Amino acid sequence: MAFPEDVLTQDEHVVAHLHPHWKALIRPVVVLVLAVAAVVAGLVLLPSTGAGTIGGYVIAAAALVLVVWLSLWPYLVWRTTHYLFTNERVLLQKGVFSRDRRDIPLGRINDHSMNQRFLERLLGCGTLTIESAGERGQSVLEDIPGVERVQTLLYEIVEANHDKHSLGDDEMREIMADAAEGKPLREQSK
């Protein structure tokens, strides 16, 4: 379930595409292993009589329900959660059946902070909070892999976007000098 490229603008390119950290898959894998172990133990330990067969079916049905609920569903949620950083915006998308997407233009990002608990430091992940201008304010991205590197990357692309859309000192001096001499403003080349 790759992120659809058709949501990007013509000049936009992906700088980083992330899913939540793999630690989100630890519990689903443990549940899957325990469910398979329970079914195998039921087959081996239960007698092959009528009651044992029914018990085996009950164990298998319970294991199947638990695997779908506690393994397959969390995997699908993990797989359909996207944190996309481009040269123009940050896109946050999640949802298995329905889809929830939030776009944060780089020009609106006011602040970003990173938080790591002890275990997250050991695993190399953490929480990135992006504060932006607008109604929704903060966006909290949990379980970001390599959160320190991602925060630095976000800083770099926000600064590059700011530099791209603002005048440099030399350009400002030229405009001020032209204005002082009474020359008309020149159109900026893109």
Span 24-38, pLDDT tens digits: 999 999 999 999 999
Considering only residues 60 and 169, tell me which one the structure prediction assigns the higher pLDDT. 60
Report the alpha-carbon distance of residue 132 to residue 30 in Å, rounded: 38
Q: Give the bridge partners for 103, in sequence order.
A: 91
Where residue 182 falls (left for φ over 0; alpha for ψ -120 to 50; beta otherwise) is left
Residue 109's contacts (CB-CB under 8 Å, 6 or more residues apart) are: 90, 130, 131, 132, 154, 158
Within 14-124, strands assigned E span 14-18, 82-86, 89-94, 100-105, 109-115
Cα dihedral 43, 46, 47, 53 sign:
negative
Residue 189: its pLDDT value, please?
47
Residue type, 116: Q
pLDDT at residue number 80:
93
Cα 103-1-117 angle, rounded to 5 deg: 65
